């Protein structure tokens, strides 16, 4: 009896080619199924770059101006550096000091 004939246990399935019945247990024990190995995938976010730090400085400077305060000189300098790099089309930013530490921590964590 096949699954198409109303077998509710699902022990057998019907082949598409020649209407022969095959047990599900036999299919699951085949070499093709057993050849698959379980893999572990690690998702790692990128480390902090100089561009991330410059962008944060730009937002800090803008926040100070919104509060009618003078922004810190460092925030202004880094913020303008970020704007210039965007206009120039620089897309590859080096890692910051903190980003390099993040990479080392992640590397040695594995």
pLDDT tens digits for 12-31?
555 555 555 556 556 555 55
pLDDT tens digits for 45-85?
889 999 999 999 999 999 999 999 999 999 999 999 999 99
Three-state secondary structure string covering the chain = CCHHHCCCCCCEEECCCCCCEEEHHHHHCCHHHHCCCCCCCCCCCCCCEHHHHHHHHHHHHHHHHHCCCCCCHHHHHHHHHHHHHHHHCCCCCCECHHHHHHHHHHHHHC
Domain boundaries, the chain: 3-34, 50-109
């Amino acid at each position: 009896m096949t699954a198409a004939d109303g077998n509710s246990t699902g022990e057998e399935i019907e082949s598409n080619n020649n209407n022969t019945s095959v047990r599900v247990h036999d299919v699951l024990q085949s070499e093709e199924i057993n050849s698959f190995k379980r893999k572990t995938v690690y998702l790692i976010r990128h480390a902090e770059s100089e561009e991330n730090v410059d962008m944060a400085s730009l937002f800090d400077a803008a926040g100070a101006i919104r509060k009618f305060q003078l922004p810190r000189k460092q925030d202004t300098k880094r913020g303008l550096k970020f704007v210039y790099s965007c206009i120039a089309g620089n897309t590859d930013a080096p890692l910051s000091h903190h980003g390099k530490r993040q990479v080392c921590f992640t590397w040695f964590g594995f």
